[in-house]
Amino acid sequence: MRSLWKEHDVGIPMLFGHDSLRPIGWTYPIAVHFEPGLTRLAGLGMLIENDEDAEHFSRQMRNLFNSAAEGYKAEIDYLMELLQQHLNGKEKLLFSKECLVLVEYGLCVRTFPDLFSSKDDDGLIQLNELTPIGPGVFKIDEFAVFAHSFFRRSLSKVNSLNSPFLKRLQDIKNDLISVKIALDPDMIGLASTYQEYEELQYWWGPKFDDNLASIPAGVTHYEADEAGRVFSGISSTQFWWQSRDDMHIFEAEELRDTPSIAIDEGKFGCRYVHSIVQESSKNVTHFDGAVRVYQTEKMIERLNVDIAHSGRHTEYTKLWRIDGMIPIPLWKELLCDYFRDNRLVGEYLGAVEDESSDSYLPDRVKPVSLVSRYVPYSMRQGDGIRIALSYHFFEDFTVERKVVPLDKASASSGTDNLDIVDSWVVELKKLLNRLGCVLVIPDDIYLISHKDFYVNLPLIVHNKNGLPENLHKTLEGIESLITGFRIKGFDQVVAYTIGFPVEGKELRVSVLGHIEDLGEWLSNPLSTPPVETQDEIYDWAEKVSAHLQAQYPVVYDNPPIFETLMHSGVLLAQRKQVDNKFNIEYEMTDKGLMYKFRIPDDEMHLKSAIEKGYLTPALAYLKLESKCIKCGRPYRVCDCSKLLDIGVAEEVTEVRVAFPFWTDRPLQ
């Protein structure tokens, strides 16, 4: 919910593997979607396909950076003031994953010379001398200093630190174990702006023999598949065990065939580890990690030999070191976490892949049926309800509430796209009138009727005046409409959407379900959302999720989320139109409008479904003119209700066919 609020209008970059140097597009969160047992943030992604898209992406990144800078203007000025005597005018502002940062060559060294003077010969500092405020982030006075940038993806300062690995290092609380780490000499942040972050990634842990000393000497080479190369940029990983002087020595190095452009377009940074196991005691007594940087020609040479014969012709940067009695489980965890994103390490160590996070779907979701292919939004009583929350720009207006169309249609006469709303909204307007409320339906909106038992009520937005009471009355009117459907015995599925201002934005609450389930929902006080603050909305959303979980069986994305959730963030039954290949022909007869079509020879299964009554084509038509048979006035503006009043009916006098569509709930 917080991500939706913050990012729905500005979006966020889409990155390959959380790597800011590998952008693939831009994504906009559009809604938080609730169903029984599952709540998700859904977004609309746009991929970079050409130079124009790439330029658009660059503009979006600049806008995002400028927007962030505007929100931290006071903090930026304060950090600049604190560091003024150490800056040489070449500093760059950076919003890292961790906090607000200034980057300049040697800035951290100039600011804290005593800290860096305590480095050992490998450039490492004792970890217990630092005060962590997060994984790889350490506080000194009002400042934050950071683990070396080579702990970040692509060895780049703009990417996130390897938090799982650094957290494990910092969690070692054993006086007999010495832990050292390399710090970034160029970055200093403002500690007060530090924030925690998460990068969710599916992973699995190694399950292999703890007797490391028994592993035979020699080199093992693991080659990445095409997907692994594309995702991680790693082409292979080599593992080498050797034995000498009661030491079982382990080395591992990953190899790349794509350059590390954060360093130089002609250089390749490869992570490397080295460890010592005492063969007599079988204890791990030493473990360290580094990055080896190869020039292009040296990388080519390295790819053609194994690690045992590769030599040491690299720029070598030690990043961390552990000495002491290192428990085997910790050794395993550190090894896998240091090689973040590299699954070849887990494969080598005998990791067994667990079931993936969506593995429940194949066993429980039935194969797509013919009906669900043509009517994917179908729902039944007892399926529960679906809810979507979305944020939009709010433009104030003067009336209590008004209708906003969510769909367009073209008449069969070739009329251009017309703003349309389901004709049942007229019934809702009449019900609200009886509650003493006003619902404005603009005159230029066309009413559409579908010959099926699905209803998409339009968006009903409210102004900020008298909001709690007006919103309550709207929901009362929708509940009365649903009650009318239930009294009639309709087997109906209905979607409704309400919009109202919250802290300067318009929140839309969209609900979809069978009328029996909607009746239960609307009789629950939880169906009325709070209207004052975002915090109230967040608390309410938690309660909604818990309610759906407790009230209905888990449905496993049925109907599929993107068959009902529109790009606008609202829920609709999006009817599938009958394809032109069926050659529908219309004829006006004494009995009314008749239509016929031919089933292609390769669609015999569809013919069978139609004959058995599982599917049928139906018509959507625009109501251009209609009148009330009781009072004689145009039905759109009269006070009578065909749903609730006895002796009232609507006579449609002028229509235009909009389109034919498939349904499993036809009107007889």
Tens of pLDDT, residues 430-443? 999 999 999 999 99
Q: Give 366's pLDDT tier (boundaries 50, 70, 90).
A: very low
Number of structural domains the chain divides into: 3
Residue 81 lies in a domain: no
Residue 145 lies in a domain: no
pLDDT of 321 strictly over 90: yes
Q: Give 68's pLDDT tier (boundaries 50, 70, 90).
A: confident
Regarding whether 481 and 420 lie in a shared domain, the answer is yes
Neighbouring residues of 487: CB distance < 8 A, sequence distance ≥ 6: none
Mean pLDDT of the chain: 90
Look at residues 539, 564, 589 and tell me which one is the last residue of a structural domain.
Answer: 564
Say how far apart CA 197 and CA 136 lie, in whole Å. 13
pLDDT average, residue stretch 239-261: 93
Regarding whether 511 and 410 lie in a shared domain, the answer is yes
Say how far apart CA 391 and CA 30 lie, in whole Å. 8
Residue type for position 333? E
Instruction: Provide the 3-class DSSP secondary structure of residue 39.
Output: strand
pLDDT of 35 strictly over 50: yes
DSSP track, 285-332: EEEEEEEEEEEHHHHHHHHTS-GGG-TT-SEEEEEEEEEEEE-HHHHH
The tokens for 521 are 């929902």
Say how far apart CA 451 and CA 458 lie, in whole Å. 18
Q: Measured in whole angstroms, how far is the alpha carbon of residue 665 from the centre of its chain?
A: 33
Q: Measured in whole angstroms, how far is the alpha carbon of residue 31 from the centre of its chain?
A: 9
Say how far apart CA 196 and CA 532 lie, in whole Å. 28
Q: How many CB atoms lie within 10 A of CB 546?
A: 12
What's the pLDDT score for residue 357? 43
Look at residues 564, 588, 613 and tell me which one is the last residue of a structural domain.
Answer: 564
The model's pLDDT over 621-634, given as tens digits with 9 standing for 90+, comes to 999 999 999 999 99
Helices (H), 89-238: 107-111, 113-117, 163-170, 226-232
Smallest CA-to-CA distance from 72 within 84, 64, 163, 143 is with 64
Say how far apart CA 280 and CA 274 lie, in whole Å. 19
What's the pLDDT score for residue 416? 65
Residue 128 lies in a domain: no
Counting other chains too, the contacts that 348-351 makes at CB distance below 8 Å and 24 or more residues apart are: 348/220, 348/222, 348/237, 348/239, 349/206, 349/208, 350/206, 350/207, 350/208, 350/209, 351/204, 351/205, 351/206, 351/207, 351/208
Look at residues 529, 564, 599 and tell me which one is the last residue of a structural domain.
Answer: 564
Whole-Å CA distances, 189 to 87, 117, 137, 148, 550: 14, 20, 9, 14, 45
Residue 37 lies in a domain: no
Domain assignment of residue 343, given as a range: 212-348
User: DSSP class of residue 350?
Assistant: T
Regarding whether 323 and 454 lie in a shared domain, the answer is no
pLDDT average, residue stretch 523-532: 95
Regarding whether 609 and 524 lie in a shared domain, the answer is no
| Secondary structure element (H or E) that encloses residue 513, with its range | strand 505-514
Task: Count the alpha carbons within 13 Å of 243 in the hemisphere toward its beta carbon.
Answer: 12
* For residue 660, cis peptide bond before it (omega within 30 degrees of 0): no
Counting other chains too, the contacts that 103-107 makes at CB distance below 8 Å and 24 or more residues apart are: 103/157, 103/186, 103/187, 104/186, 105/186, 106/185, 106/186, 107/83, 107/185, 107/186, 107/187, 107/188
Regarding whether 554 and 432 lie in a shared domain, the answer is yes
Regarding whether 545 and 424 lie in a shared domain, the answer is yes
Residue 202 lies in a domain: no
Contact 188, 102 (CB under 8 A): yes
The tokens for 326 are 């290192």
pLDDT of 592 strictly over 80: no
Regarding whether 270 and 325 lie in a shared domain, the answer is yes
pLDDT average, residue stretch 501-524: 96
Q: Give 206's pLDDT tier (boundaries 50, 70, 90).
A: very low
Residue 170 lies in a domain: no
Regarding whether 474 and 400 lie in a shared domain, the answer is yes
What's the pLDDT score for residue 666? 92
Smallest CA-to-CA distance from 144 within 105, 185, 187 is with 187
Regarding whether 340 and 400 lie in a shared domain, the answer is no
The tokens for 259 are 């350059």
What's the pLDDT score for residue 363? 43
pLDDT of 404 strictly over 50: yes
pLDDT of 167 strictly over 90: yes
Buried b (16+ CB within 10 A) or exposed e, 57-69: beebeeebeeeee
Regarding whether 510 and 602 lie in a shared domain, the answer is no
pLDDT of 428 strictly over 50: yes
Instruction: Provide the 3-class DSSP secondary structure of residue 622.
Output: strand
The model's pLDDT over 554-571, given as tens digits with 9 standing for 90+, comes to 988 899 999 999 999 999
pLDDT of 641 strictly over 60: yes
Whole-Å CA distances, 101 to 78, 186, 190: 12, 10, 7
The model's pLDDT over 439-471, given as tens digits with 9 standing for 90+, comes to 999 999 999 999 999 999 999 999 999 999 999
Regarding whether 626 and 485 lie in a shared domain, the answer is no
Q: Measured in whole angstroms, how far is the alpha carbon of residue 336 from the centre of its chain?
A: 26
Q: Give 368's pLDDT tier (boundaries 50, 70, 90).
A: low
Residue 381 lies in a domain: yes
Contact 384, 548 (CB under 8 A): yes
Smallest CA-to-CA distance from 507 within 31, 44, 40 is with 31
What's the pLDDT score for residue 633? 95
Regarding whether 400 and 541 lie in a shared domain, the answer is yes
Residue 437 lies in a domain: yes
Percent above pLDDT 70 for the chain = 95
The model's pLDDT over 132-157, given as tens digits with 9 standing for 90+, comes to 999 999 999 999 999 999 999 999 99
What's the pLDDT score for residue 516? 97
